[in-house]
Structure 1
Amino acid sequence: MASNEIRLTQHVAASPAKVWAVLTDLDNAQQTLSGVSRVERVSGEGYAAGTRWRETRKMFGREATEEMWVAEVEPERRTVVKAHSSGTDYTTAFTLVSAGEGTDLTMVFSAETGSSLLLKIMMKLFGGIGMKATTKAMTQDLRDIATRAENN
């Protein structure tokens, strides 16, 4: 399997509890995250392992919708969200660490493609472009989460 990973950290001038509340508020995600145009809950209530939703974002000039689910939850400390699309497994882990008067929020995104030759070639050809766009979107998501947590 081919794998790519992005790791970003944003300091948030808010407690881990406030950051967690924003991070896990799926029903208001489209108001928090400027890159998200729509969120549709598929199953589950609140935020717990197994909760599923469809998230629509604009990428490369067009809207794309992916179904995502919560894979792991350690309240106010860590959560893992997963998705699967076009032969690729996506994992996003968020870790919250108390830092002085605030919180360091770290987001680690990884994409693992299947073992087919076509998928490997596609990742080689387009992986860099995709990872650059994903890094930009992740950076904005972290800023948006910080802004909401700091202003609540």
Structure 2
Amino acid sequence: MDHKTTLIQHINAPADKVWAVISDIPGSAATLSGVDSIQMLTEGPYADGTRWKETRTMMGRAETVEMWVSQSEPPSENRGGSTTVKALQGGADYTSRFALTERDGGTDLTLTFGAEVLKPSRLSKVMMAVLGPIGMRITRKALARDLAEIAAKAESL
């Protein structure tokens, strides 16, 4: 059983500036109001295999999740670029995919977020059917705020 949502934010900045913001994991706590702190687990530039712990507060509760880059293609002259970030937490597999497409002198940033429950029990299936849509609405609102804050930061560079 999985849940998925896609959001698009047009940003009045070129793809390389948008990429600079989304790939700045150490700086994301300063950019994103929903992120309390970042602890880097690997060194070096943003690339496949980059790992960190991210602490966010959602619904009044702080939670720390280990995240990693599973795919990274920085933008170039011929293409917009994309990256996929993964996390495993509480029996669920989370995937966030960011795709950058240049349009109208700026960049469309498309975020596709998915959550898949691994080995769901009958009870978890029932709970996801009942609470899943509420959780996804809360998640979608938080992701929309993240995209707006990414846009503001990229447009200020």
* TM surpasses 0.5: yes
CA positional deviation for 1:129: 1.7
Q: Which residue is equivalent to 1:125?
A: 130
State the AA in 2 paired with 1:55: E
TM-score by length of 2: 0.93
Provide the rounded CA distance (Å) in 1 between the counterparts of 2:105 and 2:113: 26
Q: Which residue is equivalent to 1:150?
A: 155
Provide the rounded CA distance (Å) in 1 between the counterparts of 2:122 and 2:74: 40
State the AA in 2 paired with 1:126: L
1:44-65: CA deviations, max 9, x gaps? Answer: 3221111111111111111111
Matches within 5 A, 1:70-149: 70-76=69-75, 77-115=81-119, 116-149=121-154
Provide the rounded CA distance (Å) in 2 between the counterparts of 1:118 and 1:89: 18
State the AA in 2 paired with 1:70: V
1:81-136: CA deviations, max 9, x gaps? Answer: 00001111000000000002100000000001123223212211221121011001
Provide the rounded CA distance (Å) in 2 between the counterparts of 1:112 and 1:52: 20
State the AA in 2 paired with 1:13: N
RMSD of Structure 2 on Structure 1 (CA): 0.9
The 3-state SS of whatever aligns with 2:45 is coil
Q: Which residue is equivalent to 1:54?
A: 53
CA positional deviation for 1:147: 0.2
Gaps of 5+ in 2: 76-80
Provide the rounded CA distance (Å) in 2 between the counterparts of 1:7 and 1:144: 17
TM-score by length of 1: 0.96
CA positional deviation for 1:11: 0.2
The 3-state SS of whatever aligns with 1:144 is helix
Provide the rounded CA distance (Å) in 2 between the counterparts of 1:84 and 1:9: 24
Alpha carbons 1:87, 1:119 under 8 Å: kept: no
The 3-state SS of whatever aligns with 1:111 is strand
Provide the rounded CA distance (Å) in 2 between the counterparts of 1:37 and 1:100: 34
Q: Which residue is equivalent to 2:78?
A: none
CA positional deviation for 1:144: 0.4
The 3-state SS of whatever aligns with 2:26 is helix
